């Protein structure tokens, strides 16, 4: 018996997904979320790498769909997700291999207890840059990041306010944080000043 009941994707579904329909996007992340987790857990040891790779796969698929205006064949959506995941996996393997070769274990930065991919308390000298970067985001992204990282609201409370579940909140958060990174990269100071990479993460638990 299959773990996940097979869903037949049609042109109308892909069209809604391409146009950013929230209900369709939520179904997409829930349907493929379990499948990708099973695949990634068999290939990656770290739960944080599994979650990062899954969210990166979602982000790339949705971004590509919207940039290209959909797929030629709606039935190929599953294959497209799988190919995208394979690409993310390859990049993850390569990055992890390079990190292990170049970063001595004793020199690895220490994380505070409870630190996670989804945590971010910013150093004081970075607050202003990040606030400016967040101000450039769409309203929904601004509200999410402000509620989570500045108001420090409970994630369940945010889910209720936004009408989403924890898994979809992760998708929205991953996307919003990616847009912040892009904005920081565009406004990164020159040599000698703090860079976008100097933003530190600590203290907020993962959903």
Residue 160 has pLDDT above 50, yes or no: yes
Query: What is the CATH code of the structural domain delimited by 11-104?
Result: 1.10.1740
Under the banding of pLDDT at 50, 70 and 90, the label for residue 150 is low
Mean pLDDT, residues 122-146: 71
**CA nearest neighbour of 177 among 205, 137, 147:** 137
Query: In this structure, are residues 126 and 193 in contact, taking their beta carbons and an 8 Å threshold?
Result: no
Give the pLDDT score at 110. Answer: 38
* Per-residue pLDDT band at 128 (split at 50, 70, 90): low
- Of 82-86, 108-112, 170-174, the one with minimum mean pLDDT is 108-112
Alpha-carbon span 134 to 163, nearest angstrom: 22
Q: Is the pLDDT of residue 51 over 60?
A: yes
For residue 154, CA distances in Å to 22, 31, 138, 143, 194 come to 22, 26, 22, 14, 30
Please, is 203 exposed, middle or buried when counting C-beta atoms within 10 Å of its C-beta (0-12, 13-18, 19+)?
middle
Give the pLDDT score at 57.
92
- Chain centroid offset of residue 109 CA: 22
pLDDT for 79-88, tens place per residue?
A: 889 889 999 9
Query: What's the pLDDT band for 111 if we cut at 50, 70, 90?
Result: very low
Reading phi first (left if > 0) and then psi (alpha if -120 to 50, else beta), residue 68 is in alpha
* Domain covering 124-198: architecture: Orthogonal Bundle (1.10)
Task: Sketch the domain layout of the chain as residue ranges.
Answer: 11-104, 124-198
Mean per-residue pLDDT, 84-105? 76
- Read off the pLDDT of each residue in 140-148 and give the average, rounded to a whole number: 82
């Amino acid at each position: 018996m299959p773990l996940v009941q097979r869903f037949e994707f049609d042109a109308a579904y892909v069209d809604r997904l391409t146009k950013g329909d929230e209900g369709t996007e939520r179904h997409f992340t829930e349907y493929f979320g379990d499948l990708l987790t099973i695949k990634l857990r068999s290939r990656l040891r770290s739960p944080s790498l599994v979650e990062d790779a899954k969210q990166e796969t979602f982000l790339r698929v949705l971004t590509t769909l919207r940039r290209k205006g959909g797929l030629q064949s709606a039935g190929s959506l599953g294959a497209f997700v799988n190919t995208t995941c394979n690409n993310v996996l390859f990049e993850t393997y390569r990055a992890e291999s390079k990190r292990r070769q170049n970063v001595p274990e004793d020199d690895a930065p220490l994380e505070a207890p409870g630190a996670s991919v989804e945590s971010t308390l910013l150093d004081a000298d970075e607050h202003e840059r990040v606030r400016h970067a967040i101000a450039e985001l769409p309203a929904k992204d601004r509200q999410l990041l402000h509620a989570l990282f500045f108001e420090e609201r409970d994630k369940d409370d945010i889910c209720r306010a936004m009408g989403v579940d924890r898994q979809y909140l992760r998708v929205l958060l991953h996307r919003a944080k990616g847009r912040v990174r892009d904005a920081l990269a565009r406004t990164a100071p020159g040599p000698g000043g703090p860079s976008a990479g100097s933003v530190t993460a600590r203290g907020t638990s993962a959903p």
